């Protein structure tokens, strides 16, 4: 079992528990209580679409911070749209998870098709979410990356690499739930990590941390962010 990183702040009483959140909004409120007084007051929250958006908005309301998006999407298997083996970010960063690809056989043709489809999805979301708005400038900003959970760590790892292309002042991760082994792949690149529900074991599903779980549609995400910006 991987040791937990020194820069992690979690809720010990929630370790290895399932069903600790009612929904994503509740998860954001729990994270906010964990983070209050421990972050830079001028931080900007970046939600990873789509599931990270309602978590980030609840967090931003409590902490009184600006929220925007970092568009990143996982490259999924042709036979399973929930599982991924890589990710693409809005500024062109793309990485494949070689650990997963060594265990699961995917043809080069399928990989290239997956990269192309995911890149098109990221570009479409980026345009829809920004709607001619100038993308946020992250230079010298304290950034908090938010998602609804961390499984393999691939998507978050790519998001972190994308954010690092700016000269950010610091990078914090805020996660309702995560598999403890995933911190091994991302932990040393973050200044702080907040996670309300760390779990271990051979089987991990982000959804298991929530009583009420459903996909956040692209349309709903766009409406949520449009209201925030008004």
Number of residues in the chain: 230
pLDDT at 44: 96
Question: Is residue 132 predicted with pLDDT exceeding 80?
Answer: no
CB 146 within 8 A of CB 25: no
Indicate the average pLDDT of the chain: 91
Give this prediction's pTM: 0.91
- φ, ψ (nearest 5 deg) of residue 185: -90, -15
pLDDT band of 133, cuts 50, 70, 90? low
Give me the mean pLDDT over the 14-39 stretch.
97
How is the chain split into domains, by residue range? Answer: 8-229
CATH of the domain spanning 8-229: 3.40.50.2020
Q: What is the CA radius of gyration of the chain?
A: 17
How many CB atoms sit inside 10 A of residue 46's CB? Answer: 27
């Amino acid at each position: 079992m991987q040791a937990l990183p020194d820069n992690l702040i979690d809720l010990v009483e929630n370790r290895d528990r399932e069903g600790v959140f009612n929904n994503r909004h509740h998860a954001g409120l729990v994270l906010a209580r964990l983070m209050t007084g421990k972050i830079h007051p001028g931080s900007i929250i970046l939600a990873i679409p789509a599931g990270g958006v309602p978590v980030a908005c609840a967090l931003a309301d409590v902490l009184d911070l600006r929220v925007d998006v970092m568009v990143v999407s996982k490259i999924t298997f042709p036979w399973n749209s929930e599982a991924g083996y890589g990710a693409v970010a809005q500024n062109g960063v793309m990485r494949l998870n070689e650990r997963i690809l060594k265990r699961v056989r995917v043809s080069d043709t399928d990989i290239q098709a997956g990269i192309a489809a995911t890149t098109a999805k990221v570009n479409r979301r980026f345009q829809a979410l920004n709607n001619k708005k100038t993308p946020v400038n992250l230079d010298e900003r304290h950034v908090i990356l938010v998602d609804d959970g961390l499984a393999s760590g691939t998507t978050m790892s790519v998001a972190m690499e994308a954010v690092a292309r700016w000269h950010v002042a610091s990078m914090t991760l805020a996660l309702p739930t995560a598999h403890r082994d995933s911190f091994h792949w991302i932990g040393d690149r973050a200044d702080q990590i907040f996670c309300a529900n760390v779990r271990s074991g051979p089987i991990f599903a982000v959804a298991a941390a929530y009583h009420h779980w459903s996909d956040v549609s692209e349309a709903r995400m766009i409406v949520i962010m449009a209201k925030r910006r008004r």
